Chains A and B, each alone.
Chain A
Amino acid sequence: MPIPDRIERTIDLAQPPQRVWEALTSAEGLGGWFGNRATVDLRPGGTAYVEWDDGDHKATLTISVVEPPVRFAWTWGIQGLPATDPRRTYVEFTLAPNGGGTRLTVVESGFAQVPDELLGTAYHGNVEGWRKELAELADYLHAAA
């Protein structure tokens, strides 16, 4: 099965878009349901920092879309990868009025992106090289046995 590139979820909330928007974009909101603490510079190009209490886990969100109360998006690094890894996923929330409430859709995409330089180094040890080394190693071990 291929690496899933895109995660999509839709949830119906009882609250109107304006309230959902505040929960998604305010420091109190992001520091409440998403993390344990947050600061938010709410503008395209702004940065939000989110912290979790479990073991020093932190995330830096680069905000890319602020269209209240309809669309909010950020990019962030892939959890578990070193901070130096260039890969980032794109998270986009879309809010649609739904009766008196809100239909919220979140899409996170970009998991399957793999930079060419990383793929190149995945097979860095050129095949000829290691075949030769291992053949020599086998000889050596055989001789030593």
Chain B
Amino acid sequence: MPRPDPEAVAEAVFAALAEPTRRSILSALAARGPATATDLAGLVPISRQAITKHLELLAAAGLVLAEPGERRRIRFRVNAAPMAIAQSYLAALAQDWDSKLARLQRALDAPAPRPGAAAPDPAVPGS
């Protein structure tokens, strides 16, 4: 199998999350654990046929895994790996060095402590 493209994985996550019903399905699976389409139909206010269609899409994107169960009671569970890949995208956007550097500049511009004032020894861990 060719190495999947991380960007395509992230895109599939964001596309899945852009649709309210798929968000509801993923939220229900995340909150309550693996569930069948019938279970989900009791939790999300749409038909089981519509749920099946969304599950198919989510499975194709690798966001849910189908687990064969007894008597065709297939259970679906969240597959976390694509979320973890999408999170690195969000982490890059959320890192916010602009605010951090602005705080550094303010700290440096604040009046310096008077010479001779007792300062903690930076060499001592925990000081």
List the count of A-B residue pairs having beta carbons below 8 Å apart.
159
Give Cα A101 to B62, complex, Å: 51
Choose from A9, A22, A23 the contact partner of B98 (Cβ within 8 Å). A9
Q: Is the CB of B108 within 8 A of A13?
A: yes
**Taking CB as reference atom, which chain B residue is nearest A47?**
B125
**Taking CB as reference atom, which chain A residue is nearest B90?**
A80
Give Cα A114 to B41, complex, Å: 35
Q: Is the CB of B127 within 8 A of A27?
A: yes
Q: Is the CB of A130 within 8 A of B66?
A: yes
Q: B3: CB under 8 A from chain A?
A: yes
Q: A98: CB under 8 A from chain B?
A: no
Give Cα A130 to B68, complex, Å: 9
Given the complex, which residues of A lie within 8 Å of B55, measured CB to CB? 134, 137
Q: Is the CB of A133 within 8 A of B125?
A: no
If A106-B97, A122-B85 touch, whether A3 touches B6 (CB-CB below 8 Å) is yes
Give Cα A123 to B65, complex, Å: 9
Given the complex, which residues of B lie within 8 Å of A4, measured CB to CB? 89, 92-93
Give Cα A48 to B60, complex, Å: 42
Q: Is the CB of B92 within 8 A of A23?
A: no
Given the complex, which residues of B lie within 8 Å of A13, measured CB to CB? 104-105, 108
Given the complex, which residues of A lie within 8 Å of B89, measured CB to CB? 3-4, 111
Given contacts A81-B91, A114-B9, 13 further A-B contacts (CB under 8 A): A13-B108, A39-B126, A40-B125, A79-B94, A79-B95, A80-B94, A104-B104, A122-B82, A123-B1, A124-B65, A125-B62, A137-B55, A140-B72
User: Can you identify 10 A-B contacts, CB atoms within 8 angstroms?
Assistant: A3-B92, A11-B105, A13-B105, A13-B108, A14-B108, A23-B104, A32-B107, A33-B100, A129-B66, A145-B48
Closest 8 pairs (CB-CB, A-B): A26-B122, A111-B92, A133-B66, A121-B81, A33-B107, A125-B65, A122-B81, A33-B103
